[in-house]
A and B are shown apart, each in its own frame.
Chain A
Amino acid sequence: MGQQVFQHTLSNGLVLLAERMEHVRSAAINFLVPAGCANDPDGQFGVGSVLADLITRGAGDRDSRELSLALDGLGVDRDESVGVYNMRFWGSTLARNVPAALTIYADILLRPHLPADELEPVQSLAVQDIEALEDAPQAKVMLELRKRYYPSPMNKDRRGTVEDIEALTIAAVKAHHSRLFRPNGTILSVAGNIDWDRLKAQVEDLFGDWKPGADPDLAPIERTPESGHIPKETAQTHIAIAYPSVPVTHADYYAARAADGVLSGGMSARLFTEVREKRGLCYSVGVRHETFKDRGTIIGYAGTGADRAQQTLDVTMAELRKLKDGVTDDEILRVKAGLKASLIMQEESTSSRAGSIASDWYHLGRVRSFDEVQAAIDGLTPGTVVDHLARFPVRGTTLVTIGPAPLTMPE
């Protein structure tokens, strides 16, 4: 495979990762800054999202328009998003434009203007983002599920609350930036047709003087998850469920991924077959594995007409609970084939690789090699999956629904 992954830690703690991909002309840049919405203080829910929007409205020597023009002129497609623990800055363009783009990103992260006169429009957009959820019941049911399932502060939503956003001051946004933007805990990953030595020297030059800051205490405050129903006159009932699994740091991780693959990995997977193909109960149904450093979760979704929603939930839960009774060799072969194909095809996308190496470093403190992942996939058997499910059965399922009527979790 000839995988070429490089890593360098600056003396201030910033981690630089790169994967050289010689067969492409593009490159992707990905920053994870430890400023996710779990850090939003009480009374300022949504401040992280406001900061993520405001931060590109002028930085270094450029005002908002000049900054936008400069990135557009380099052909940088970009996105700034707020996750639970990290704020993500993603940009993708031709590899030859990466050095110029990094110079601009250094301004954005270290020297943003955060102009006071732009706060009001950004607040207005943030409020509209919350209101728009009313038109997106599928997104809303997932948000409501996370709010009830996860402990604080993991259960915060990046959008925050209308009340808190409207009360924000520019001083609070600036303080949020000063407190959280720091090199220790920040990961910069670049994947594509890049020159490692030059990249490393440039990143030292751009970020070497960045002063470390204190890490905030974000220890989760454990509590019992709660189920709930949000009444709404929608055409479909939107069903979301969650129950505990293992995180990516756990020895059972690949077994857990295989279990979710058997349930939802392909067109012949159990949920698609039983709920949609055989019974025609819905268009969308599926589960997927979600991981934080300290915990993994299986998250499920189905959407269907109110008259068939209870049956959809019953059939779905029955399939989830039945998995521990046995998995066939053929099911495992299919899961392995799917995982292997996506692993190899990821090598064709600079964005996927930049995201993947950063995510590995964040969760594991290292980058998993292609061979390591391949070996873990090859090692999967029906036995590893069933043994995993004996240790981590489906239990304590949290159910959240949006629609005309509530549902009952089957015994």
Chain B
Amino acid sequence: MPFHHTRLPNGLTIIGETSPSARSVALGFFVRTGSRDETPEEAGVSHFLEHMMFKGTPRRTAEQVNLDFDRVGSSPNAYTSEENTVYYAAGLPEYLPQMLDILSDILRPSLRDDDFNTEKKVILEEIKMYDDQPGSVAGENARRIYYGGHPLGNSVLGTLGSVGALTRDQMHAYFTRRYAANNIILSVAGNFDWNQVVAQATAACSGWNTAEVGRTHRTECNGVGGLHVLTRPKVQQEYVLFLAGGPPADSKMRYAADTMALAVGDDTGSHLYWALIDPGLADSADCSFYENDGSGIVYASFTSELDQAERNMEVVRKVLADVQKNGLTAEELKLAKSKITSRWVRGSERPMGRMNAIASMWAYTGEYRDVDTELANYDAVTLDDVRAYLDKYPVDRLTTVAFGPGAKVAGVEGTAV
């Protein structure tokens, strides 16, 4: 599939993969900023700003933004992670000019005081909503503990306190600092004309500022270690997470790490499936690799009844220690690859999947890889590659966090959260 890329004088990168047989087109602005780029006083501003971007511009009120998206039947959305904030939409090819017009317009928001104050209430409700979801509370706390003071441990949502105290001027300063053109990629995939997109984006985005962006803290982090117990009596199940270091997003080792995590914790046929789910010891178990800029991470986790939790923790530790010691078998490697191939092919059949994939690759590695190239990278992973990855990033060098009703777990007293 043809790939194109260019860079405007102000630094905005535009990339595109055209697929004339697609029925739709997907586009997104991929901003390289997130909670890791916040100061402690700004905690939660990246995510709050993501909401404010839909609240109007000099050309559109918030209501007009929503109306204009809906008029072309587009489904815009956005998400904020620790290091990326992404605004995207998909729709029918004939409406691409309108979708690009709206998205590029909202990337320069007015940040009006009234809208800021109303939306703050919505964010505070969102924080409460996640507080009712123990899996989410466990994950947030596990990251915070694992990373110690490293900014990758910053909460995306922030807290009721930090978001409550944020001002419109703080948000504006953060916006100017991080939403510079040279920190943004426009990614387009599906059925579209590349030259038209470049012409329209040049007209719409050339006025955007350029700034000194980047990150000073792209250091690896291997976790603080130990078992940390967090107690909330009204929670029903015990949520336990095991965190270990992993390769950063631009490392070739990411393929081995991804393959290992799938063999250990996929929802069918994995080590953790047979050890915990099949015998009915836990109602969920997982292992996943997440790439980050400068420092990857592997999460293993389970959820179970409290009285099974200590025993399950031993089971997971043993699974991870065995994998560390023995690596994967040839059969496991083959199975993992067959699953990865199937998922990649299916995920790539929608322009939305490709738009995300190429933006993420470009942001982290400055490289374009088509579906078959990426599949070949996974297919090339050998048992020796898995071994080399495990030697560098031991999957049994763990920081463990338990959250739930347990007041004392495996001999460690809990702290109330």
Contact = CB atoms under 8 A, between A and B. Distances in A.
Contacts, number: 191
Interface in B269-322: 269, 274, 277-283, 303-305
Interface residues of B, number: 65
Interface residues of A, number: 76
A302 to B, nearest CB: 10
Contact of B23 (A78, A137, A272, A347): A347
Task: Tell me if A's interface is mostly helix, strand, loop or mixed.
Answer: helix
Given A26-B346, A268-B67, A276-B122, A337 B280 contact: no
B76 A267 contact: yes
A303 B129 contact: yes
Interface string B45-74: 000000000100000001101110111111
Nearest to B336: A72
A24 interface: yes
A128, A265, A276, A303 interface centre (most CB from chain B within 10 Å): A128
B122 A282 contact: yes
B280 A265 contact: no
Given A134-B236, A277-B63, A93 B342 contact: yes
Contact of A128 (B91, B92, B305, B349): B305
B328 to A, nearest CB: 14
Interface in A291-335: 303-305, 330, 333-334
A27 B74 CA distance: 26
B338 A268 contact: no
A304 B54 contact: no
B37 to A, nearest CB: 24
Interface string A339-365: 111101101111100000000000000
A171 to B, nearest CB: 20
A201 interface: no
Contacts of B350: 345, 348-349
A23 B24 CA distance: 13
A75 B237 contact: no
A124 B277 CA distance: 10
A284 B278 contact: no
Interface stretch (B79-87, B131-139, B223-231): B131-139
Given A72-B338, A337-B72, A348-B349, A282 B125 contact: yes
Contact of B279 (A97, A121, A272): A121
A94 B349 CA distance: 11
A338 interface: yes
A283 B304 contact: no
A409 to B, nearest CB: 22
A348 B237 contact: no
B125 A236 contact: yes
A26 B128 contact: no
A283 B269 contact: no
A129 interface: yes
A282 B132 CA distance: 14
Interface of A: 23-26, 57, 64-65, 68-69, 71-78, 92-94, 97, 120-125, 128-129, 131-132, 134-138, 233-236, 265-269, 272-273, 276-284, 303-305, 330, 333-334, 336-342, 344-345, 347-351
12 contacts: A71-B268, A131-B236, A134-B237, A267-B76, A277-B66, A279-B118, A280-B125, A282-B122, A337-B70, A337-B71, A338-B73, A349-B350
Q: Which 7 A-B pairs have the closest CB atoms?
A: A75-B342, A121-B280, A337-B73, A124-B280, A280-B121, A341-B73, A266-B70
